[in-house]
Chains A and B, each alone.
Chain A
Amino acid sequence: MSRIARRFEQRRAEGRKALVTYITGGDPGPDATVPIMHRMVAAGADILEIGMPFSDPMADGPVVQAACDRALAGGTGITGVLEMIRAFRREDQDTPVVLMGYLNPIEQAGYLDFARAAAAAGVDGVLTVDLPPEESDELGSALAAHDLDPIWLIAPTTSAARIRAICEQGRGFVYYVSLKGVTGVASLDFDSIQTRVQAIREATQLPVGVGFGVKDGVAAGQVGQLADAVVVGSAIVSRIAAHADEPAALLDAVGDIVGELRAGLDGTSVEMAP
Chain B
Amino acid sequence: MSNVIHAIETAPDFAHYPDTTGHFGPYGGRFVPELLIAPLEELSAAYERYRNDPEFQARLDSDLKYYVGRPTPLYYAERWSNRVGGARIYLKREDLDHTGAHKINNTMGQALLARHMGKERIVAETGAGQHGVATAAVCARLGMECIVYMGAEDVRRQSVNVYRMRLMGAKVVPVDSGTRTLKDALNEAFRDWAANVDDTFYIIGTVAGPHPYPEMVRDFQAVIGRETREQCLEEHGRLPDALVACVGGGSNAIGMFHPFLADTDVAIHGVEAGGDGVATGRHAAPLSAGRPGVLHGNRTYLMENDDGQIMPTHSVSAGLDYPGVGPEHAWLKDTGRVIYAAVDDDEALAGFHTLTRTEGIIPALETAHAIAYAERLAAGMRPDQMIVVNCSGRGDKDINTVAEVEGMEP
Contacting residue for B29 out of A55, A56, A135, CB 8 A: A135
Residues of B within 8 A of A246 (CB): none
> When each residue 199-221 of chain A gets 1 if its CB lies under 8 Å from chain B and 0 otherwise, what string results?
00000000000000000000000
Q: How far is the CB of A225 from the nearest CB of chain B, in Å?
A: 24
Residues of A within 8 A of B297 (CB): 130
Question: What number of A-B contacts does a CB cutoff of 8 Å give?
Answer: 127
A78 at the interface (CB under 8 A from B): yes
A61 at the interface (CB under 8 A from B): yes
B35 touches A155 (CB 8 A): yes
A153 touches B34 (CB 8 A): yes
B89 at the interface (CB under 8 A from A): no
B277 at the interface (CB under 8 A from A): no
A20 to B196, CA, bound (A): 27
B31 touches A132 (CB 8 A): yes
A177-B35 in contact given A104-B295, A134-B21 (Cβ < 8 Å): yes
Segment among A41-49, A181-189, A231-239 that sits at the interface with chain B: A181-189
Q: How far is the CB of B6 from the nearest CB of chain A, in Å?
A: 15
Segment among A9-17, A29-37, A156-164, A258-266 that sits at the interface with chain B: A156-164
Residues of B within 8 A of A129 (CB): 33
Interface residues of A in 46-81 (CB under 8 A from B): 53-59, 61-62, 65-66, 69, 72, 77-79
Segment among B307-315, B337-345, B347-355 that sits at the interface with chain A: B307-315
B35 touches A180 (CB 8 A): yes
A103 touches B194 (CB 8 A): no
Segment among A82-90, A105-113, A116-124 that sits at the interface with chain B: A105-113
A104-B293 in contact given A135-B29, A154-B34 (Cβ < 8 Å): yes
Residues of A within 8 A of B309 (CB): 53-55, 72, 77, 105
Residue with the highest number of chain A CB atoms closer than 10 Å, among B37, B186, B306: B37
Contacting residue for A58 out of B39, B191, B196, B293, CB 8 A: B191
B187 touches A58 (CB 8 A): yes
A50 to B24, CA, bound (A): 34
Q: How far is the CB of A255 from the nearest CB of chain B, in Å?
A: 29
Contacting residue for A180 out of B30, B31, B186, B194, CB 8 A: B194
Q: Which residue in chain A gives the minimum CB-CB distance to B198?
A: A180
B294 at the interface (CB under 8 A from A): yes
A5 at the interface (CB under 8 A from B): no
A107 touches B308 (CB 8 A): yes
> When each residue 293-328 of chain B gets 1 if its CB lies under 8 Å from chain A and 0 otherwise, what string results?
111110000101011111000000000000000000
A16 to B194, CA, bound (A): 32
> Would you mind naming 30 contact pairs between A and B with Cβ atoms under 8 Å apart?
A55-B309, A56-B310, A58-B296, A59-B33, A59-B191, A65-B177, A65-B187, A69-B177, A69-B178, A72-B309, A77-B308, A79-B307, A104-B308, A105-B307, A107-B308, A109-B308, A135-B29, A155-B34, A155-B38, A157-B38, A157-B39, A158-B37, A159-B38, A162-B38, A177-B33, A177-B35, A180-B194, A181-B194, A185-B195, A186-B195
> Using a CB–CB distance below 8 Å, which chain B residues touch chain A?
1, 21, 29-39, 177-178, 183-184, 186-187, 190-191, 194-198, 293-297, 302, 304, 306-310
> Using a CB–CB distance below 8 Å, which chain A residues touch chain B?
53-59, 61-62, 65-66, 69, 72, 77-79, 102-109, 111, 129-132, 134-135, 138, 152-159, 162, 166, 177, 180-182, 185-186
Known interface pairs A54-B309, A56-B178, A107-B308; 11 further A-B residue pairs with C-beta atoms within 8 A, sorted by A's residue number: A56-B295, A58-B33, A65-B178, A104-B294, A104-B308, A108-B293, A108-B306, A158-B37, A180-B195, A181-B35, A181-B191
